[in-house]
Amino acid sequence: MNRLAASLPTFPDSVADEEIGAHVHLPRGREFAELTLVIGPCRSGSTAVLRAAAATGHTAHFQPFKRLIRRTLLGEEARFALPSGPGRGVLKETFGPFLLAESAFDPVTILSGLGYPSHLLNLIVTLRHPVDMYLSWERLHRANDRFGGTDTEVFVAAFRHTLDLHRRARDSGLRVTAFAADALSDSKPEDVLPVLFARHGLAYSSAAVRWPTAPGVLDASMVREPEPELFRAPGALDGVRRAAAFAFRAPRAGGAANGVPHQVTELIDEYQRFAAQTIEDLGGPA
């Protein structure tokens, strides 16, 4: 069990994938769309990828499965309707940052359990240097202080779960791309994104890196249901509302790990292997 603050209820450490799937509606006539899943820990660049896809006209779903988990934990009813074909959709899910239950679900297993054809699924797996990502989680928790700060166990679980899903997807033969944007910091978004999109059959245009920054435009471009009040963090998406260059080159700690738990720094070697896979998948820095 995961007791995070005296004023909060005790939440279970997981919600079964089958239970999540029970709240998902299949397309009418089982006309499945080709679906690109963007998965990774919170603050790893997943929303930037989703935003780029939305800007090019793809239907972009913002973490519907995690919303179902949160509603389920709170005893609230929620549903999600899968996009129907023909066409392509993009669906992003992130792990963490508040509960272990947010880091224990598998989007591929959920969809496979519903009969989603594997040949219509592919993955973009996002990750970020663990020190930088942990410090970003700290900033996120300051925006939502109900949970009493970053839980190192949740952070490590989200990180390792991402690596595990990446390995499993590769072993299963799904089309999968490792995407650690900070491993490509010498490249420009307009050099990297066309390669990433081409690997996944996604249409690309210059709109992917030239985002409108007017208030509300980001949210209007994505299919995003409201989160329960308990899980809202004001300003959480401020960074990705800025220009694409900022979103893909988020602030870095420059290797400084002062005050970062050793469980986080112990993840660096695994991250570096993932970053090397990113360079291999995307052809290296331009």
CA distance 45 to 52: 11
pLDDT cut 70: percent of the chain above it:
85
pLDDT of 60 strictly over 80: yes
Task: Look at residue 27 in the predicted model and tell me its pLDDT.
Answer: 86
CA distance 261 to 66: 26
115: left (phi over 0), alpha (psi -120 to 50) or beta: left
Name the band, by pLDDT with cuts 50, 70 and 90, for residue 95. very high
Task: Look at residue 157 in the predicted model and tell me its pLDDT.
Answer: 98
CA distance 110 to 112: 6
Task: Look at residue 3 in the predicted model and tell me its pLDDT.
Answer: 41
Task: Look at residue 216 in the predicted model and tell me its pLDDT.
Answer: 61
* Domains, the chain, ordered by start: 17-282 (3.40.50)
CA distance 19 to 10: 19
Task: Look at residue 189 in the predicted model and tell me its pLDDT.
Answer: 84
Name the band, by pLDDT with cuts 50, 70 and 90, for residue 17. very high
C-beta separation of 123 from 163 below 8 A = no
At 140-162, the pLDDT tens digits run 888 888 888 899 999 999 999 99
Q: Is 280 exposed, middle or buried (0-12, 13-18, 19+ CB in 10 A)?
A: exposed
What are the tokens at 14? 């997981």
List of residues 6+ apart from 186 with CB closer than 8 A: 285, 286
List of residues 6+ apart from 246 with CB closer than 8 A: 239
At 200-251, the pLDDT tens digits run 999 999 888 876 666 566 566 788 888 898 998 876 666 555 555 545 555 5
C-beta separation of 248 from 196 below 8 A = no
